[in-house]
Amino acid sequence: MIEATSQSQARTATAARAERRTNWRTLLLALHSTLMYIFLYAPIVVLVLFSFTTDSFGARLTGFTFSWYGRLLQDQRLIGAAWNTLEVALVSTVLSTIIGTLMALAMERYRFRGRTSVDALLYLPIVIPEIVMALALLAFFAFSFGIIENITGRQLKMSLTTVIISHIAFSISFVVVVVRASLKGFDQRLEEAAQDLGANAWQTFWRVTFPLILPGIIGGALLAFTISLDDFIISFFTTGPGTSLLPIEVYSQVKRAVTPKINAISTLMLLISMTLVGLSQFVQRQRR
Amino acid sequence: MATESAPLGQAPNSSLDTLARRERGRLFGLLFPGLFWLIVFFALPLVVILLYSFLTPGPTGNVIWKFTLDNYITLFTKDLYVNAYVRSLWIGLVTTVVCLLIAYPLALYIVQRSPRWRNLLLFLVLIPFWTNFLVRTYAWMIILANNGVINSLLQAVGLPRQTLLNTTGAVLVGLIYGELPFMVLPIYASIDRFDFTLLEAASDLGASRARAFLRVMLPLTMPGVAAGSVLVFIPTVGQFVVSDLLGGAKVDMLGNLLQRLFTRSNPPNWPLGSAMALVFMLVLTVAIIFYFRTTTEEDR
């Protein structure tokens, strides 16, 4: 993801000359950038620091304690919500990765009528405001549950299933984008070579194509997993009463009262996100 | 839906009919699950709110199947809703402009570092973006609260407390903080592609630094600026978490009204909420098209 495509040496030389000439400009830029990094990291540092404070209002650093982390373990609601979040993230990641990979193959390897429309349909979930999508899904579920009840008499309710369905609808597009990128740099002659050597389509896919695009698929899956773990808005509107997810639980606790316990759970969530980023960076480095 | 299909690598061979049919079947198999999911769980829900937006709200929060345009009329005539649109767009605009002004110099600085530093600095911008939005917003709550970090520091040096939380300023800070990486990345990418010798050329031809920047560098890095602005603007206008947590009930944005219309208000009003969401999407699309048109004109 972060790949500095270094340009020609000539540019660096010119830039260096310009830099010497306008030293104070660089200094100003450096100062600005330093302030920006402080702006970016100060809240995170404060958040982590105050998860260890003994002050129960979380306003002062009165002493050091691990007790807030201990209390997390006693909060059954929070733990239940964490398991729900994990379940949703795992199921939706697996399904959206499979569906998205298939779709990426179709979009990259075939020309067909309506391809541009499918492309548009794929990009819409990325650009549409999340809250509009969330409300539309809420309305859709209520609407179709009403119809189902009228026809079959069965009463369906919003639950983890509706959250999973919604997360998949949201994640497919992101998986497709990432997997398509890995298919673009793919040398198709390798597949032709395999087929010339007598491999059928199935063997060619599993022995040649799949291993080569695997880093892209893993990248897409990690993205889908992170999006699902972090999602608040869509989960908030598509979950049922009584089924909470971690971000929703944090939101409702924050609305009630600010305590260092929320800092503790936030710090843990922070650690998980960072581990995932580290993992995806590692996978991408393996690719090179 | 797919009637003609041919693998990209090979030329379609008309004599091999069975092969063509098999390819078509394969394409259908690849496309079907995703297409099905996106149509049923993405396109159809949008159709449902389009339908709802023309129906009548019932007294218990239900929907009455009677066609009406009242929802749209209410949106454009009641101050509460008109103001929410104007305020949200305004907050979105301010957030985007401030992000742009602080992200551009930062991106420029990163580009001018050595490759190793560049990767590290860029990575450091990305990390906060990978953390949960709610967590980031909560961090600002502790900083800005009445007995929060800033006020504690102020008191420690003998200054009076300030009301920082539950203000428009707090909402703006939270939004800028949350969206900044979205602005830095595209701008970084386009500055990285920019040929700095062009600035030399401009100054050799007698242009001042400021002029060279405005007439050469800015237009050529405009694609990044445009992409970043849209990436920041869209989620900002639709926010309800940041305005809810940092603005209290005082800073009502579209997202807050939408949330209330669908879940909180007594009774809920889904038809009006649906109309509001659709108009919001439309306004946003028009704003973005308009923006891209003006920025590409500047390109020439």
Q: Chain B within 8 Å of A31 (Cβ-Cβ)?
A: no
Does residue A282 contact residue A275 with C-beta atoms inside 8 Å?
Answer: no
Residue from A115, A233, A239 whose CB has the most chain B CBs within 10 Å, to mutate? A233
Mean pLDDT of B23-47: 93
| pLDDT for A20 | 59
The architecture CATH gives domain A75-287: Orthogonal Bundle (1.10)
Instruction: Compute the distance between CA of residue A277 and CA of residue B151 in angstroms, rounded to an integer.
Output: 34
If one counts every other C-beta atom within 10 angstroms of the C-beta of residue B289, the result is 10
Q: Is the pLDDT of residue A174 over 50?
A: yes
CB-based contact B196 A11, cutoff 8 Å: yes
Q: For residue range B122-132, list pLDDT tens digits in order.
A: 989 988 877 88
Closest residue in A to B285 (Cα) is A128
| Cβ separation B3–A112 shorter than 8 A | yes
B168-193 vs B133-144: helix axis angle to the nearest 10?
Answer: 130
| pLDDT digits 0-9 by tens, B211-230 | 888 889 999 999 899 989 98
Between A and B, how many residue pairs show a Cβ–Cβ distance under 8 A? 265
Q: Does B197 touch chain A (CB under 8 A)?
A: yes
Asked whether the predicted pLDDT for residue B153 surpasses 70, the reply is yes
CA distance B300 to chain A (A): 24
CA atoms within 13 A on the CB side of B242: 28
Question: Domains in chain B, please, with CATH?
Answer: 78-299 (1.10.3720.10)
B70 to chain A, minimum CA–CA distance in Å?
19
Q: A103, B143: Cβ pair inside 8 Å?
A: no
- Chain B, residues 11-40, CB within 8 A of chain A, namely 23, 26-27, 29-31, 33-35, 37-39
Chain B contact present for A190, CB below 8 A: no
Residues 204-243 of A with CB under 8 A from B: 226, 229-230, 232-233, 237
Q: How far apart are CA A39 and CA B177, in angstroms?
A: 8
ipTM: 0.85
Map out the domains of chain A as residue ranges. Answer: 1-52, 75-287
CB spacing of B105 vs A33 below 8 angstroms? yes
Q: What is the pLDDT at residue B77?
A: 94
Among A31-40, A269-278, B181-190, the minimum mean pLDDT is found in A269-278
Distance of alpha carbon A137 from alpha carbon B192, whole angstroms = 40
Say whether A251 and B152 touch across the interface (CB within 8 A): no
Mutation for A interface: B42, B147, B188, most A CBs within 10 A: B42
List the single range of A244-248, A268-272, B14-18, B221-225 with lowest mean pLDDT.
B14-18
Other Cβ atoms within 10 Å of B20 Cβ, number: 17
**For B26, which residue in chain A has the nearest alpha carbon?**
A106
The shortest CB-CB distance from A110 to any of B27, B35, B124 is to B27
Distance CA B103, CA B121 (A): 13
Distance from CA of A4 to the nearest CA of B (A): 6
The answer, yes or no, to whether residue B300 has pLDDT greater than 60, is: no
Best probe of the A interface among B31, B129, B237, B256, by most A CBs < 10 A, is: B31
With bands split at pLDDT 50, 70 and 90, how would you rate the model's confidence at A10? low
Region B36-50: what's the mean pLDDT?
96
If you average pLDDT over every residue of chain A, what do you get? 87
Average pLDDT of chain B is 87
Q: How much is the pLDDT for B5?
A: 46
How does pLDDT run across A70-94, given as a tens digit for each residue? 988 898 989 999 999 999 999 999 9
CB contact (8 A) between residue A60 and residue B152: yes
Better-predicted residue by pLDDT, B205 or A278: B205
% chain A with pLDDT above 70: 91
Please determine, for residue A3, whether its predicted confidence score (pLDDT) is greater than 60: no
What are A269's two structure tokens? Answer: 């969530």
Give contacts of A 66-95 with B, CB under 8 A.
none
How many residues appear in chain A?
A: 288
Q: What is the pLDDT of residue A287?
A: 57
**What are the C-alpha distances in Å from B47 to residues A115, A149, A165, B23?**
21, 20, 18, 33
Residues on chain A touching B3 (C-beta within 8 angstroms): 112-113
User: What value does the mean pLDDT take over residues A223-246?
Assistant: 90
CA distance A71 to chain B (A): 19
Please say if the pLDDT value at position A195 is more than 90.
no
CB contact under 8 A, B37 and A270: no
Residue of A nearest to B106 (CA): A33
Phi, psi of B16 (to 5 degrees): -90, 80
Cis preceding-peptide flag for B267 (omega within 30 of 0): yes
Q: Does B135 touch chain A (CB under 8 A)?
A: yes
Mean pLDDT of B254-268: 87
Residue of A112, A186, A202 to mutate, interface with B, max B Cβ within 10 Å: A112
Distance from CA of B168 to the nearest CA of A (A): 18
pLDDT band at B2 (very low <50, low <70, confident <90, very high): very low
- The C-alpha torsion from B107 through B109 and B112 to B114, rounded to 10°, is -100
Contact A40 B128 (CB under 8 A): yes
DSSP output for chain B: -----EESSSPP-TT-HHHHHHHHHHHHHHHHHHHHHHIIIIIHHHHHHHHHTTSEEPTTS-EE----SHHHHHHHH-HHHHHHHHHHHHHHHHHHHHHHHHHHHHHHHHHTS-HHHHHHHHHHHHHHHHS-HHHHHHHHHHHHSTTSHHHHHHHHTTPPP---SSSHHHHHHHHHHHHHHHHHHHHHHHHHHS-THHHHHHHHTT--HHHHIIIIIHHHTHHHHHHHHHHHHHHHHT--HHHHHHHTTTS--HHHHHHIIIIISSS--HHHHHHHHHHHHHHHHHHHHHHHHHHHHHH-
Q: Are A48 and A263 in contact (CB under 8 A)?
A: yes
Please compute Rg for chain A using Cα positions. 24
Nearest residue in B to A26, CA atom: B109
Of B116 and B297, the one with more pLDDT: B116
